[in-house]
Structure 1
Amino acid sequence: MNIGKFDVRILCFVVFMYGTRPCCGVQLTAYVSQSGLHGEVVFQQQPGGEGTVVVQTSLEAIDEQSQWSWVVRELPVSYSSIEDRCGDDKLGSITLNLDEVFGPLDLPANGSAVLTTSGDQFMVTGAKGLWGKSLVLQMVDDSSRKACATITVSGNADEKVAEAKFFSPIGGSVFLRWVGSHHSGSTDTLLLTNLYHIGVPKGSKPVVTEHHWKIYTTDILDSEADKSRENCNFLQLVFDPLFSTTPGQAVGDLDSRIGKVKVAGSPRLLHSSVAGVYHDSGLTSVSIDLLSGQRSLYLVIFDARHHDSFLACAKIREIRPAVLKALIQSSGVKGEVTLSQRSPFDPTWIRMNLTSANEKHTGQAIKTSAYKIHELPPVPLPSVNVKENHCLKTGSVFNPSNIQEDQASGSQDTYAVGDLSGKHNMWRQEQSFAELRGQRWDIYLPMFGHHSVAHRSLVFYRRNESVTASSANSTDAPWICGTLTRYIAVDRGWKTAISTAGAVFRYPTVGRIIFRQARDQPWTDTTVIIETLVHGDGTSLNNTADHRWAVHVEPRGKDYYNWTGRCLSAGEIYNPYKSVPP
């Protein structure tokens, strides 16, 4: 089994005079690799009035015989979370019990199966649709073994994602997702909310509140400075591209169509009962207005008591697919490895395109024994000895879950996040670069959030053979590497412009901490790189850990020399959103 290379597609095309276009509507896929279960489940709406849905399974389990219950839950899986992502509190209530439609899945008997059902039981999109929800499989004989996946659009289909990110006095995000087009005959719009109050005073009981919410638009003549204001009192126009004559019926009047939005009392109380998923066919045209760039759209949440007062607002911005590339040009190997993830709710795709000059000229393939993502980017070449392999200074394999190698089995959750060759070449065989060429999917390789692999290093290993008088040893050692750098798009060679800030420590600790973020995009993730920090005052000869660290408001004064009152000049901790520590 080659994990991640399943690529099931049900294709249907109608030929026209001027080309081709799909005739089978939207195709959805759930990519599963968890608890010893790996593969794909594809959902395809068939054309015609019958509305038949074809379900095709392509699953393998590590057990000789096993039975799995499968259900659909209302919330998608967030792949930014690498642990405990399948709980009921994360994915919400059951919207469809597939056991009642098809019966449980018996593996390996139903591992590769084609199942059909009528459209009156469920649909691919719409109010009864599967798109944007999660597929959860649970082993009948062992309830602790559970696998889940977002039911997402297959391949590079027509799907757009936008986000309204709130910071204060409400935190969290509202995601807007559009799928399909009028050409495909299937369109749908989803809103996913995950909001909470910030700054709740200590001692007060946080409660869930409900609020009116609407989409506002700027005037086409508003300046960019107006559009970037933090204060949303300048907003006056509810988004109404259809010029509705009935009050409360504009496209931006969300509450009149789908009701009020819930906001949790604090981040600690976030639960599937507060998070919400809403279908809203009235927002189909918003994606066009959002991408036109002529107007800015804002999501406004009103005060729970004073219904005419703005409580919080956030600009709605398109989420472009996250793209990372590692360029390799060393030891006769040339090419690039590309990682892409459409949104936090979609799997990451790995595309490898590497060639070996030795293989090209001599016909002898150079093989790599492993390829892994390490914690740190490579040290710049001028900083190391030219004879020293700079890939040796990239830290350990990225493993935020602290998974041990002996836990590895037949699914991606049993490997370190950075152990790509383990997840996609489970037999640990040496591979040539020609064999690596192609694409694979990975649901444990986040490019958004706390465990993002951005700015880390991709390291290829080579097997070292050492023979002594007593034994012959074979070990894998880092060989060639590249930094996973952000790019504009998969098919473009333009890097994302990056802003970099650094804090240089000179006494009593010596070293540097670097902050990197996409330029002019302060709402995006910031990568923090901690370079080597050492004790420079001679008072400590041992390694130390678990130091508190924070960004403070003021620049440091000369009191960093004062051992009794060091760094008091830095002032308070930087807290622009007035959040209250837990």
Structure 2
Amino acid sequence: MVWGRLVTLLITVTSVCRTHAKVEGLTATAQFSQHGIVGKVVFTEINRRYVEIKVDVSGIRGDSKYNWEIRSLPVTQTSAVDKCSDHHLGRVYHAGTLGYTHGYLTEDGVKTFKESRVSIEGRYSIIGRSLLVTNVNKPSERICSTILPPVSETAEAVFVDPTTGSVSGRVTFSSSEQSGDLQIMSDLFFTAGTEPETWEWSVYGEVYNPSQPISNQEFNHVILDLSSDIGPVQIGGEAGSTRYLWTYTRQYTLEELVGKSLVVYNYYHGQRAASNIIKVESTRLKASFLFDEHEFGSVTLTQLSRYHPTQVEINLPKVKSLHIIEGDCVGGVLYNPFNVSTSVPDSGSSDQFPVGDISGRYSDLPHAFTDLNLPLHGAHSVYGKLVKLVLQDGTSVCTQLRKDTSRSTQGQSAKENIQDDEMLKSQKTDYEVTVSASVDDTLTEYRVKWKEPTSLSSSNVVAHRVYYKEYGLETVIGHKDVPLHKQEVLIIEPYVDLEFQWVELLADGSEGLATPYFDLYVEESFVYSSVFTPGAQTGQIEFDWSIPKASDQFLDVIPEYIVEWKEVGGPVSSSKVSGSSQTTLSGLKPGVDYYVRVRVRIY
């Protein structure tokens, strides 16, 4: 089997061209809330030479003292597990040893410093990098935050090309709205554990056609020669092993890049992959509360990328409490993926409360705030969970957090909107869809099943075309044509959350009616898969496994594993293993090959 190659390149750039002279008044902020320390550090360019650093912090206890420094890589806001480690944040960045220059942070309050070695624009910009605050007396207590500009825009390219081998990963670019600099962070790796390689990359004016082999396409009009301007891109042997962040200072706007193609290639082996760059909106989830079919309130969560905090908007009448829960409205439990044991009444940082304890973190429930412990991406996302309100009379009301598509229909005509609504009612209801997704290292195996509608639009329908794309993006990764009545398809991609769409395929090859995209998300993960031959004497297999790393996130809280095994062509047997990552299978046929895999449910 040939595994598909997927590389995701995320480009964030301001739509304002930069000038080569320093622009006064540029700002960037690192906001943090960890280990009981709450605050923010604001960097402001005050003239051509100096940056003002304003530190506002609370929660420092006793004689504690904290070193603070700038690290080279951003913080991933998808998990609380190890996100502030050296592995994730990289080395100390250029002139970023602020604790050495200005002293440790030793008390609450506001302090202001002037710094000549830190810049918010240009080659050594700190935008997109991270601020790390470490307790000197307790080095394991690390607090971190990405240094972000006030506003940015995003575009993305998704690569699928089986001719280039098993490569996956992400590259993130962020920029100050005013400066126009482009921060480029690469995290590309070989899924098969191949030795690291150096590849070239460029942006071309030609549009890539994903329906045609890349070998039949030419790319000649270079828009950006990234290899010459900032250097080639490194592809590592495993996830997270070769991450880099550059600042690109050429004058290009987002509009100039959108619609162009991005090509990565290896001259020595004749390998390349391409994709078109598209503009990407923020991930936006919404829980709408209805009364007599009219919305009386809502909770909206917005996250620009996995490196940004979540913006929360609450549009509700006065309520007693607001929480995010798992399960149903009556018996559901507080969403607590990091197993936080207790909350800190009226104080504390966001990580000291369960993810779903919104009222605990914000007792007065402001209408708008920024939360650093509310991920919308990754295995610990709140997507699909319930928002539970307790009204003033004690009544509980729940509704599910779903993708907010209200902004995606902007620019459509009223007729198109009505058609979309009718399609949603008739087609999506008729298609009864289930999906299971399994992860082996970084590859995801989606097994999608559905029940066909009782009636199709035409007697000329001969098959279903199942399109799939990454959740929240516009570019289609690929499609599968499935004959009528088969109602099942297997799709294998690197670890991403996919959306699926069903289109009627007519006898003349044209497409008929289409459903909206189903936003289905990963529910299961394979953590181990192999082939064993039992011992001739014992008829047993003894083996163990480790917790997987999937898309730069660790699955750290696993209640039980499901071990499955089968002979070639035989039925599947299974058993559950709790509290251990090893087991022994007995009663097997000596000398016969058995396929064995371990599965765990993730949320």
Report the TM-score range of the alignment, normalised by the length of the smaller protein: 0.5 to 0.7
1:474-520, Cα deviation, whole Å (9 max, x unpaired) = xxx87112221212467999999998872399xxxxxx999995596
2:370 to 433, 436, 441: 441
Q: What is the deviation of 1:462?
A: 5.4
| In the alignment, structure 1 residue 404 sits paired with structure 2 residue 341 | yes
Partner of 1:194: 187
What's the TM-score, normalizing by structure 2? 0.63
1:424 to 329, 352, 362: 362
Aligned partners of 2:396, 2:58: CA distance in 1, in Å? Answer: 33
Which one-letter code corresponds to 1:481 in the other structure? C
Aligned 8 A contact 2:35 2:141 in 1: yes
Aligned partners of 1:504, 1:322: CA distance in 2, in Å? Answer: 22
Partner of 1:17: none
Any unmatched runs of 5+ in structure 2? 1-22, 411-416, 437-447, 451-467, 478-495, 499-519, 525-558, 573-594, 597-603
RMSD: 4.2
Aligned partners of 2:230, 2:308: CA distance in 1, in Å? Answer: 25
Q: What is the deviation of 1:239?
A: 4.7
Q: How does 1:70-149 map to 2 (within 5 A)?
A: 70-95=68-93, 96-108=96-108, 111-118=109-116, 121-149=117-145
Aligned 8 A contact 2:180 2:253 in 1: no
Which one-letter code corresponds to 1:197 in the other structure? F
Partner of 2:246: 278
Mark the CA change 1:529 to 1:160 in structure 2 (over 3 Å): closer, same or farther. closer
Mark the CA change 1:521 to 1:450 in structure 2 (over 3 Å): closer, same or farther. farther
Higher percent of residues as strand: 2
Q: How does 1:179-578 map to 2 (within 5 A)?
A: 179-180=176-177, 184=178, 186-200=179-193, 206-219=194-207, 227-229=209-211, 231-240=213-222, 251-267=223-239, 270-271=240-241, 274-282=242-250, 284-285=251-252, 287-291=254-258, 295-303=259-267, 305-306=268-269, 309-330=270-291, 334-355=296-317, 367-368=319-320, 370-376=321-327, 391-392=329-330, 395-405=332-342, 410-425=348-363, 431=364, 436-461=365-390, 479-488=396-405, 502-503=433-434, 525-526=497-498, 527-528=520-521, 546-547=561-562
Partner of 1:576: none
Which one-letter code corresponds to 2:265 in the other structure? I
Any unmatched runs of 5+ in structure 1? 1-22, 201-205, 220-225, 241-250, 356-365, 379-390, 426-430, 465-476, 506-511, 532-543, 551-556, 561-571, 574-582
Which one-letter code corresponds to 1:342 in the other structure? L
Q: What is the deviation of 1:338?
A: 1.2
Mark the CA change 1:285 to 1:504 in structure 2 (over 3 Å): closer, same or farther. closer
Aligned partners of 1:139, 1:504: CA distance in 2, in Å? Answer: 45
Which one-letter code corresponds to 1:546 in the other structure? Y
Aligned partners of 2:125, 2:435: CA distance in 1, in Å? Answer: 53
Aligned 8 A contact 1:171 1:195 in 2: yes
Q: What is the deviation of 1:263?
A: 1.0
Aligned 8 A contact 1:132 1:150 in 2: yes
Aligned partners of 1:513, 1:422: CA distance in 2, in Å? Answer: 40
Mark the CA change 1:198 to 1:491 in structure 2 (over 3 Å): closer, same or farther. closer
Mark the CA change 1:42 to 1:235 in structure 2 (over 3 Å): closer, same or farther. farther
Q: What is the deviation of 1:134?
A: 0.1
Which one-letter code corresponds to 1:278 in the other structure? W
Which one-letter code corresponds to 1:170 in the other structure? V
Report sequence identity in percent: 25
What's the TM-score, normalizing by structure 1? 0.65
SS in 2 for 1:343: coil
Mark the CA change 1:258 to 1:513 in structure 2 (over 3 Å): closer, same or farther. same
Aligned partners of 1:504, 1:103: CA distance in 2, in Å? Answer: 54
Q: What is the deviation of 1:286?
A: 5.2
Mark the CA change 1:57 to 1:520 in structure 2 (over 3 Å): closer, same or farther. closer
Corresponding residue pairs, total: 433
1:161-202, Cα deviation, whole Å (9 max, x unpaired) = 23344565211012233432xxx4x221111100111234xx
Aligned 8 A contact 1:513 1:529 in 2: no
Aligned 8 A contact 1:198 1:266 in 2: yes
Partner of 2:45: 45
Aligned partners of 2:309, 2:45: CA distance in 1, in Å? Answer: 22
Partner of 1:152: 148
Which one-letter code corresponds to 1:255 in the other structure? S
Which one-letter code corresponds to 1:337 in the other structure? V
Aligned 8 A contact 2:497 2:521 in 1: no
